[in-house]
Amino acid sequence: MVSNREGLCFILREESQPAFLAGIAACAGFIPRRDSTRFGRWRQLFTGYFSGKRVLFDEPISWTVGTSFQKKIWNQMRKIPHGELRSYRWIADELKMGAAARAVGNACGKNPLPIVVPCHRVVRHDGSLGGYTGGIGIKKKLLAIEGAPVPPS
């Protein structure tokens, strides 16, 4: 996890920590430093989440990357309740973006805060899984943790 004074900014998605840190430096313009004292509450929330509890990720976050368009989509995704699914089209409709379902999918793929911004809860309009940056297997596991219906791939 990476945070700034305002809140959580990034969650590790890559397999390599050096690649993750280099990616942050490239896109956000800063190099994180270690401070294990900053994440106590976040660790509690993630521990609860991964043990199957219904968790509200209500700690502050900070958008250090992303366009205003992407941030609107990410904020809309945060409104999807635990254990429920919504479609890319639903998000576009809620934001009055017309036929922007594909753009919603692209924004999901750039989400810097997976799980906190629950892009794993977003599926295709036909109910199939769609994609997931971390891989479909992880998307299925996250949905299973939440007790959500796991649609076909």
Catalytic residues: 119
Say whether 122 sits in a helix, a strand or coil.
strand
Helices (H), the chain: 17-28, 40-50, 68-77, 88-94, 101-109, 136-145
Q: Is residue 94 within 8 Å of 70, Cβ to Cβ?
A: no
Q: Is residue 73 within 8 Å of 91, Cβ to Cβ?
A: yes
